Amino acid sequence: MSSADPVAGAAAGTRRAELAGNLDRVRARIAAACAAAGRPAAEVTLVAVTKTYPAADVVLLTGLGVTDVGENRDQEAAAKAAEATAAGARPRWHFVGRLQRNKCRSVVGYADVVQSVDSVRLAAALDRAAGQVRDAPLDVLVQVSVDGDPHRGGALPGAAAADAGLDAVAAAVAGAPALRLAGLMAVAPQGWEPARAFGRLAEVAAAVRADHPGATALSAGMSADLEAAVAAGATLVRVGSALLGMRATLR
């Protein structure tokens, strides 16, 4: 269908109205959570996680004032970023999913922030890739394993492991010329109350900032638990279903 097709135009208008209503509700939740925590609402940035949704939704969201968009899988994200850019949408792209070292070259071509670095080897691979294609350092958040489970994604607080210990990973990112240590990211582990998980993350973040004062970003909270994350000091909340609707199951 051409962009002039009235059916396509009506569908786009309906989707825009749906996204606008959802966005208003999410922004109201963030504002209320900030007020309850005694924080200015401007301290918290909404990252719209658009996995499985089309570039057309990214275009609509940026037109509604969304500045930051997150993606989980490189194959989908690379094509979507290119399509959205061609349509005139230029949000700040966050890569928030598990990242394999062989995908680093692709990811640094479109991402402005990578939120999921959890090993020294991954930091080194990302640094090499970013140094080849970027003029400015890439913002990086170190993903933290809040419960210390080595089988989940995330660097391990207090661990002496050379590759996956949080202190080692943070130091590797901070020392990489093509990267900038911007802060930390975490997901609340299954079975943990969000307040407990994000309270633990806040403690870890304070310890990291003692060594790296510039690492002030804290990415935590999703559609179901953003209030607890804001209460614990999150500066970035990653919202998908509350904004875009329930997505199809990824295969």
Residue 249 maps to a domain:
no
**Which tokens hold the place of 16?**
């825009």
Domain count, the chain: 1
Is 250 inside a domain boundary?
A: no
Structure confidence at residue 9 (pLDDT):
75
* Res 47 pLDDT > 70: yes
CB-based contact 183:140 (threshold 8 Å): no
pLDDT-derived band at 1 (thresholds 50, 70, 90) equals: very low
End-to-end CA distance of the chain: 28
Q: pLDDT band for position 251 (50/70/90)? A: very low
Query: What is the tens place of the pLDDT at every residue in 29-44?
Result: 999 999 999 999 999 9
Whether the Cβ atoms of residue 186 and residue 217 lie closer than 8 Å to each other: no
Residue 135 has pLDDT above 60, yes or no: yes
Cβ–Cβ < 8 Å for 107, 144: no
Name the amino acid, one letter, at 81: A
CATH of the domain at 111: 3.20.20.10
Q: For 134-139, what is the mean pLDDT?
A: 96
**Helix axes 166-174 and 120-133, enclosed angle (nearest 10):** 20
Is the overall model pTM greater than 0.75, yes or no?
yes
The secondary structure of 55-115 as a DSSP string is HHHHHHHHHTT--EEEES-HHHHHHHHHHHHHTT---EEEE-S---GGGHHHHTTT-SEEE
- pLDDT digits 0-9 by tens, 83-134: 999 999 999 999 999 999 999 999 999 999 999 999 999 999 999 999 999 9
Range of the domain at 109: 6-244
pLDDT at 6: 61
User: pLDDT tens digits for 148-175?
Assistant: 887 778 999 987 667 999 999 999 999 9
**Per-residue pLDDT reduced to its tens digit, 175-220:** 999 999 999 999 999 999 999 999 999 999 999 999 999 999 999 9
For residue 186, being part of any structural domain is answered with yes
pLDDT of residue 106: 98
Confirm whether 230 is domain-assigned: yes
CB hemisphere CA count around 243 (13 angstroms): 29
Q: What is the pLDDT of residue 250?
A: 46
pLDDT, position 246: 80
Does residue 200 form part of some domain?
A: yes
The amino acid present at 106, given as its one-letter code, is S
